[in-house]
């Protein structure tokens, strides 16, 4: 019994995402699409590239096109699923990550918008924009550069 | 720009509202759909304008200044022997409350390319610091005690004025990910701790002793070039700096500059890992004006202190799920100029000899799945030859409690054991060993 009550939480904490990676699993987050404006010079993005973009380490698509990242609200379950899959962080770790960046004088967090429909509209119109939405919401006017499925980044 | 776009959208919305009502009563669901469409449109317009503010040139019309920072306060206790040298630098070894840091950042984005970051620490210094000691007599302590003479109730109240420390203040121009320039006062890019810098970010409460003892200057005034080069998996950060070097960062008394560089190879997945290399070299000098004669009225500047220092270091950071590991190894070569060596312990008869210093530490912290608890252990060895000892061994342990991402309680116990390396297990200079218990309630805001 003690193994279940003690060992399991400890083992879970060792896993990226604290071992709760399956906690969010409904139709909205079952598959996410990472979408970019059609002018973005990338057909697909790897997990490492997404990590760099969404931690604002990578700020340029090219010499004359900057990355404009749109996030969802920190408590949005789509955002939570995305952060677990791409950043390998729980919401609390994400909060600490951005506080650490601020204290170091580093990058500022991406701006966030309240709902995925708005992300679609922004990405459609703003050159350099990137965001993520439930896959079924991604219109043909944007380019899908990666998908998040079963907590993994996969090719579009 | 924001106003005009929003106004245009509102006019458009108003025009639709003002349109003649249809003959057939509208379906309520359809009206709701149209309203939702309009709301999305308005929010999209607003968000696009904000995004453009960060990406286009009209920023200079709407400069933004952000204020944020951190503060910490707590309780601490030093355990010193009655005749420890620590009694000179520590005004109290009793259990005492402490206001540690009150740091405010000023972050301004003047244009998409130009920005400014300033960080000011407010303190009650220099009160209680020792200034001069004569054997057999009490040391003098600095005080800023004064009467509050503008107090309308009468000037009888005693106040202690404090000072500010400019932690950093620089203007930055960003060309691209690969190239950014900074000019001003910046934190020396050396190792992990100096850039992590603040109590909300540092894992342990107490910084490594080698950094505490000025292994390298905490901050410098000069020029930095930095950037990030992205590979498919790895990322390489670089910083190159030229500065006045050590000192109060006002002016450089000589033309010799300090040069520094740092490279960090890192990746974020599958787990955050970074390997850093740092280096600094420069000549430190202190010049004092000398009054030569009254007639003619003549002064000259004379160099009183001169030494060259070269410091290199390597560091590793690794986060494996809830486990955080940090380690550094650093080496410093110190060579003074005969006749111009700096004073040791501020004693006129003690001069710092040529010597090498080195330091190593390993820190391991583990985030438990309960109540934000994060215990950590730390061990440091620091070769720092002084008349007291060859160096120090420092085992330590602590517990951080993360209440929220922005609020945490940090506690730590540290044992500083002065040693002679040829007699590690002997009693050695035990009179100067120190035990420290510290805690800080930390908030980032």
Q: Nearest Cα to B84, choosing from B438, B435, B432, B436?
A: B432
Q: How many CB atoms lie within 10 A of CB B108?
A: 15
What CATH number has the domain spanning A27-154?
3.40.190.10
State pTM to two decimals. 0.83
Tell me yes or no: is domain B69-125+162-444 CATH 2.40.160.10. yes
**Can you tell me the distance from the alpha carbon of B442 to that of B408, in angstroms, rounded to the nearest whole number?**
5
Judged by CB atoms closer than 8 Å, whether chains meet at B44 and A122 is answered as yes
Question: Token pair 């939702």 is at which residue?
Answer: B36
**Can you tell me the distance from the alpha carbon of B329 to that of B381, in angstroms, rounded to the nearest whole number?**
10
Residue scoring higher pLDDT (A63 or B171) = B171
What phi and psi, each to the nearest 5 degrees, are found at residue B5?
Answer: -65, -45
- Separation in Å, CA of B44 to nearest CA in chain A: 6
- Separation in Å, CA of A27 to nearest CA in chain B: 22
Q: Burial level of B432, CB count in 10 A (0-12/13-18/19+)?
A: buried
Q: Nearest Cα to B171, choosing from B250, B223, B117, B225?
A: B117
The tokens describing B307, both together, are 């030494």
pLDDT at residue A19, as a whole number: 37
Interface of B with A in 22-81 (CB under 8 A): 40-41, 43-44, 47-48, 50-52, 54-55, 68, 70
Res. A11: pLDDT tops 70? no
Q: Which residues of B touch A104 (CB under 8 A)?
A: 195-198, 201
Q: Which residues of B touch A116 (CB under 8 A)?
A: none
Res. A78: pLDDT tops 70? yes
pLDDT at residue B138, as a whole number: 84
What phi and psi, each to the nearest 5 degrees, are found at residue B421?
Answer: -70, -15
Judged by CB atoms closer than 8 Å, whether chains meet at A9 and B369 is answered as yes
Judged by CB atoms closer than 8 Å, whether chains meet at A103 and B444 is answered as yes
Question: Token pair 């080069």 is at which residue?
Answer: B229
DSSP count for chain B of H helices, then E strands: 5, 22
Selected residue of A54, A97, A103 to mutate for chain B interface (largest B Cβ count, 10 A)? A103
The secondary structure of B95-151, three-state, reads: CEEEEEEEEEEEEEECCCCEEEEEEEEEECCCCCCEEECCCCCCCEECCCEEECCCC
Q: Which residues of A touch B105 (CB under 8 A)?
A: 102, 105
Judged by CB atoms closer than 8 Å, whether chains meet at A102 and B52 is answered as no
Q: Which residues of A touch B44 (CB under 8 A)?
A: 118, 121-122, 125
Neighbouring C-alpha atoms within 13 Å toward the C-beta of A55:
25
pLDDT at residue B369, as a whole number: 93
**Can you tell me the distance from the alpha carbon of B203 to that of B366, in angstroms, rounded to the nearest whole number?**
10
Residue scoring higher pLDDT (B10 or A110) = A110
pLDDT at residue B23, as a whole number: 56
pLDDT in 10s for each residue of chain B, 445 residues: 444 444 444 444 444 444 455 555 567 787 787 778 777 777 777 766 666 555 444 434 556 889 999 999 999 999 988 878 778 778 788 999 999 999 999 999 988 899 999 999 999 988 888 777 777 888 888 889 999 888 888 888 899 999 999 999 999 999 999 999 999 999 999 999 998 989 999 999 999 999 988 899 999 999 999 999 999 899 999 999 999 998 776 788 888 899 999 999 999 989 999 999 999 999 998 888 999 999 999 999 998 899 999 999 999 999 999 999 999 999 999 999 998 888 887 777 788 889 999 999 999 999 999 999 999 999 999 998 888 888 999 999 999 999 999 999 999 999 999 888 877 666 666 778 899 999 999 999 9
pLDDT at residue B7, as a whole number: 45
| β-pair partners for A112 | A71
Considering only CB atoms, B406 lies closest to which of A9, A47, A99, namely A99
- Separation in Å, CA of B117 to nearest CA in chain A: 8
The tokens describing A88, both together, are 């390998």
Question: Token pair 């409690």 is at which residue?
Answer: B401
pLDDT range class, residue A3, cuts 50, 70, 90:
very low
Q: How many CB atoms lie within 10 A of CB B97?
A: 8
- Asked whether B177 and A82 are in contact (CB, 8 A), the reply is no
Question: Token pair 């930390």 is at which residue?
Answer: B442
Phi-psi region of B214 (alpha: psi -120 to 50; beta: other; left: phi over 0): left
Q: Burial level of B44, CB count in 10 A (0-12/13-18/19+)?
A: buried
Nearest-CA residue of chain A relative to B54?
Answer: A68
pLDDT range class, residue A71, cuts 50, 70, 90:
very high
Strands B407-419 and B434-444: antiparallel
Q: Which residues of A touch B235 (CB under 8 A)?
A: 52, 57
What phi and psi, each to the nearest 5 degrees, are found at residue B62?
Answer: -130, 65
**Can you tell me the distance from the alpha carbon of A49 to that of B332, in angstroms, rounded to the nearest whole number?**
37
Selected residue of A91, A99, A109 to mutate for chain B interface (largest B Cβ count, 10 A)? A99
């Amino acid at each position: 019994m003690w193994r279940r009550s003690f060992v399991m939480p400890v083992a879970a904490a060792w896993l990226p995402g604290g071992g709760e990676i399956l906690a969010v699993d409904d139709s909205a987050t079952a598959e996410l699409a990472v979408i970019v404006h059609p002018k973005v010079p990338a057909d697909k993005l790897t997990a490492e590239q997404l990590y760099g973009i969404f931690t604002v380490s990578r700020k340029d698509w090219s010499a004359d096109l900057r990355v404009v990242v749109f996030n969802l609200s920190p408590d949005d379950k789509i955002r939570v699923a995305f952060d677990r899959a791409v950043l390998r962080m729980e919401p609390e770790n994400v909060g600490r990550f951005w506080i650490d960046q601020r204290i170091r004088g580093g990058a500022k967090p991406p701006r966030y918008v309240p709902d995925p429909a708005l992300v679609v509209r922004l990405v459609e119109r703003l050159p350099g924009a990137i965001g993520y939405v439930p896959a079924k919401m991604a219109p043909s006017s944007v380019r899908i550069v990666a998908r998040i499925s079963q907590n993994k980044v996969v090719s579009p | 720009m924001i106003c005009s776009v929003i106004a245009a959208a509102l006019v458009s919305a108003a025009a639709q509202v003002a349109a003649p009502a249809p003959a057939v009563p509208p379906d309520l669901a359809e009206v709701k759909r149209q309203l939702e469409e309009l709301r999305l449109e308005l929010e999209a317009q607003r968000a696009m304008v904000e995004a453009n503010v960060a990406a286009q040139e009209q920023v200079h019309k709407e400069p933004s200044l952000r204020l944020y920072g951190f503060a910490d306060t707590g309780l601490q206790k030093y355990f010193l022997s009655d005749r420890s040298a620590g009694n000179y630098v520590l005004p109290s070894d009793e259990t005492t409350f402490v206001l540690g840091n009150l740091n405010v950042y000023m972050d301004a984005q003047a244009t998409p390319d130009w920005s400014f970051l300033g960080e000011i620490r407010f303190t009650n210094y220099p009160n209680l610091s020792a200034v001069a000691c004569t054997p057999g007599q009490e040391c003098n302590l600095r005080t800023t005690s004064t009467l509050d003479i503008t107090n309308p109730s009468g000037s009888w109240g005693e106040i202690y004025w404090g000072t500010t420390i400019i932690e950093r203040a620089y203007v930055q121009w960003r060309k691209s990910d690969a190239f950014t320039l900074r000019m001003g006062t910046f934190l020396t890019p050396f190792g992990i701790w100096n850039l992590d810098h603040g109590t909300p970010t540092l894992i342990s409460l107490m910084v490594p002793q080698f950094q505490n003892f000025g292994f390298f200057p905490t901050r410098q005034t000069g020029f930095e070039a930095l950037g990030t080069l992205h590979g498919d998996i790895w990322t390489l950060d670089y910083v190159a700096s030229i500065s006045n070097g050590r000192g109060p960062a006002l002016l450089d008394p000589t033309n010799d500059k300090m040069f520094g560089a740092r490279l960090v190879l890192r990746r974020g997945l599958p787990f955050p890992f970074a390997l850093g290399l740092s280096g600094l070299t420069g000549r430190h000098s202190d010049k004092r004006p000398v009054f030569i004669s009254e007639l003619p009225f003549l002064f000259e500047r004379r160099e009183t202190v001169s030494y060259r220092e070269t410091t290199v270091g390597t560091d590793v950071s690794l986060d494996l799920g809830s486990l955080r590991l940090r380690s550094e190894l650093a080496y410093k070569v110190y060579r003074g100029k005969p006749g111009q060596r700096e004073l040791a312990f501020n004693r006129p008869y003690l001069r710092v000899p040529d010597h090498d210093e080195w330091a190593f530490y390993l820190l391991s912290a583990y985030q438990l799945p309960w109540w934000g608890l994060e215990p950590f252990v730390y061990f440091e060895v620091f070769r720092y030859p002084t008349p007291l000892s060859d160096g120090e061994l420092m085992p330590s342990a602590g517990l951080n409690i993360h209440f929220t991402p922005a609020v945490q309680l940090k506690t730590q116990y540290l044992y500083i054991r002065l040693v002679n390396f040829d007699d590690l297990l002997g009693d050695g200079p035990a009179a100067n060993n120190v035990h420290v218990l510290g805690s800080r309630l930390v908030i980032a805001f």
